[in-house]
Structure 1
Amino acid sequence: MRIVNFVIDGVTRFGVLRDESVIDPLRAAAAEERAWFADTVSFIRAGAPARQALDKIVSQSDAKANLKLRDVKLTAPMMPSTILCSGSNYRAHNAEKANTAISGKEPEFFIKTSDCVIGPDDAILYDAALSKKIDCETELAVVIGKAGRHIPVERALEHVFGYTIVNDVTARDRQVRMKDGFVWYELGRSKAFETSAPLGPCITTADEIGDPQALMLKTRINGELRQSSTTAEMIWSCAELIHFFSVNFTLKPGMMIITGTPAGTAWSTDAELGGKWSPTPGLVPATRYCQPGDVIESEVEKIGILRNTVAASR
């Protein structure tokens, strides 16, 4: 099942994407079920009864609940309460950039907030006062469905509701600090800012994803293939990251974990910031960082394509 949020008549609604249609369960739900479909987090928290009710609505294909996809605007499929982020989680990405002393030895832990989130086709703002080196990173995002603390790795995937795509937009000139041969990262201003977390276009439920370590990821910028890899190349698996973050927090429905990006970033061609581009068959090296007018496509197998355009900040 593919969960979406959409706007119709100026109101944001929860729905299910199926082919070229969006199913609006509020139009077919019984009165006692309507609270479950108020938004994505309410649906996740409601658990099995809500899923059973939604399965029934979808299977019946009630005409009054079906909307044409072209008649609605998709937004971010949820507004996560917290986005827990793991950097430096692909070996090939670590090989292409300047690294800190802990790169690839433990997950780089930083946080984005809901203030960073935008949806499909929304604009990534280019604000020269913040950064002139805006880079994009396609990442698999894990949506937590069941609460837990100190979750063992072998039980971790039981806590997953589904998976979506996040573009971890990064201000590289705010991130990378270098002095006397020593490198460190500033992961506050470089990672958490307005429009730095495009999210969507849908959440594919865990039952349809299967193994999250067997998914292809791709990034295209203006049609050029910049990233192409598989989640099998992660250093720490989704299950291991769930365990890792659950040591710090009780993971709750509505939280999200993003899992790092593979090689092919613009950083790799930026020698000034320690970039080390390595030719890869099929991939086009960046000649610059993102600029207004660029179209970014972040694709993950079984989820879809998240498309955003860079626009100048006013």
Structure 2
Amino acid sequence: MRVLMHRARGAPRLGFLADPETIVDAADACAALGRGADRPLVADAIALAAAGDAGLALARELVASAPAETRLPLAGTPLCAPMRPSTILCTGSNYREHNAEKANTPLSAKEPEFFVKTADCVIGPEEAIVQDPRLTTKLDCETELAIVIGRPGRHIPVAAALDHVFGYTIVNDVTARDRQVRTSPEGVTWYELGRGKAFDTSAPLGPWIVTRDEIPDPQALALRTRINGEPRQAGSTASMIWSCAELIHFFSTSFTLRPGMVIITGTPAGTAWSADPELGGRWRPVPGCVKPTRYCLPGDVVESEIEGIGTLRNPVVAGAG
């Protein structure tokens, strides 16, 4: 099932993709089917995730039985981010190919890189990524698989970790490289993962959440990034150093994972950073992809695609100079 938020009658509303061309509006379908008392279960994607099997059973009933007046065409219906995560737990340096193309810290690939983004970073499909020159002149994009937590837990064993997943979506981990990468006079590299990673519009999310039952193996998905139609990244989640299950276990040692939390899982090779020797980039050919010649600029269009989920598309616009 594909769970989304669409804008109708001036407000974001939960919906489900009934087929490749049709959205079912959750609130309207509840009303039409006399299920008004169950409306809180489908108030938004976080409520649906927290409702567990009961929420998914209701969603499937709505999709199967909703009358025509509760259905909307996907084409022309504006989509919002499918959720506003309570917390976005992030790992970097999690693909071998990406580590080979960039400057690394002493801990790169030795343990999961841990940083956080907030709900304030999130935008949805077709919303604009802002390139603010007062923050960065080296704006980069990274297509990443995002895990949406559905069942709470702490110190979750790896073997049980995927049982805590509600679904998966796409995140573009937009990064200010000139804020991220630091090098000491002695040549030691470290990352500033506050200003480099967490800022307005730095977490495009969507276009929808695909529930766990439709992605039985999250370690077998192809990822691609296109900028202005040019292929920049191409990889597979099979190349993760730490799997989705291992990352859930890792983050659950620090936090009680709760419905609505999101874990993002790193990116493959092909970033603009790889072609920037000033910041330690070491570009290597990526089959089928074009070597970057610059970072993102206003007027660019970024498409992040993951097999089994879809494509997240966002333009880049200029911020206040």
Report the TM-score range of the alignment, normalised by the length of the smaller protein. Answer: over 0.9
Residue number in structure 2 paired with 1:167: 172
Aligned equivalent of 2:243: 237
Tell me which residue corresponds to 1:274.
280
The aligned residue for residue 15 of structure 1 is: 15
Partner residue of 2:253 out of 247, 253, 259: 247
> Partner of 2:200: helix, strand, or coil?
coil
1:135: which partner in 2? 140
Match of 2:227 among 221, 230, 246: 221
1:2-49: CA deviation from partner (whole Å, max 9, x where unpaired): 000010121110011231111112112111111111111111111222
In structure 1, what residue type is equivalent to 2:47? S
2:29 corresponds to: 28
The range that moved more, 78-87 or 51-60, is 51-60
Q: Which residues of 2 match residues 250-265 of structure 1 at below 5 A?
A: 250-265=256-271
CA contact (8 A) 2:221 2:306 kept: yes
Q: Given the alignment of the two structures, is residue 146 of structure 1 paired with residue 158 of structure 2, yes or no?
A: no
For residues 61 and 229 of structure 1, the distance between their equivalents in structure 2, rounded to whole angstroms, comes to: 39
**Which residue is equivalent to 2:128?**
123
Identity among equivalent positions (%) equals 62
More moved, 193-202 vs 3-12? 3-12
The 1-side partners of 2:287 and 2:194 are apart by 34
Identify which of 69, 88, 93 aligns with 1:64.
69
Alignment partner, residue 3 of structure 1: 3
Amino acid aligned to 1:285: K
State the TM-score, normalizing by the size of structure 1: 0.99
In the aligned structure 2, how far is the partner of 1:71 from the partner of 1:208?
Answer: 26
- Read off the aligned partner of 1:278 and give its amino acid letter: R
Contact conserved, 2:29 with 2:66, CA < 8 A, in 1? Answer: no
Equivalent AA in structure 1 for residue 20 of structure 2: D
Q: Say yes or no: does 1:286 pair with 2:292.
A: yes
Larger deviation: 166-175 or 11-20?
A: 11-20
For 1:81, which of 75, 83, 86 is the aligned residue? 86
**Match 1:195 to one of 201, 204, 221:** 201
Aligned-partner SS, 1:14: strand
Tell me whether 82-91 or 276-285 shows the greater mean CA deviation: 276-285
Residue 174 of structure 1, CA deviation: 0.2
SS at match of 2:6: strand
Any stretches of 5+ residues in structure 2 without a counterpart?
Answer: none
SS in 2 for 1:70: coil
Is 1:109 the counterpart of 2:114? The answer is: yes
User: Aligned with 1:174: secondary structure?
Assistant: helix
Return the alpha-carbon distance in structure 2 between the equivalents of residues 209 and 2 of structure 1: 11
Say if 2:168 and 2:209, in contact at 8 Å, map to a contact too. yes
- Alpha-carbon RMSD across the aligned residues, in angstroms, is 0.8
Shift of 1:281: 2.4
- Amino acid corresponding to residue 27 of structure 2 in structure 1: L
Measured in 2, the distance between the counterparts of 1:148 and 1:34 equals: 26
When normalised by structure 2's length, the TM-score is 0.97
Amino acid corresponding to residue 167 of structure 1 in structure 2: N
Name the amino acid aligned to 2:15. Answer: G
Unmatched segments (≥5 aa) in structure 1: none
Moved over 6 A (4+): none
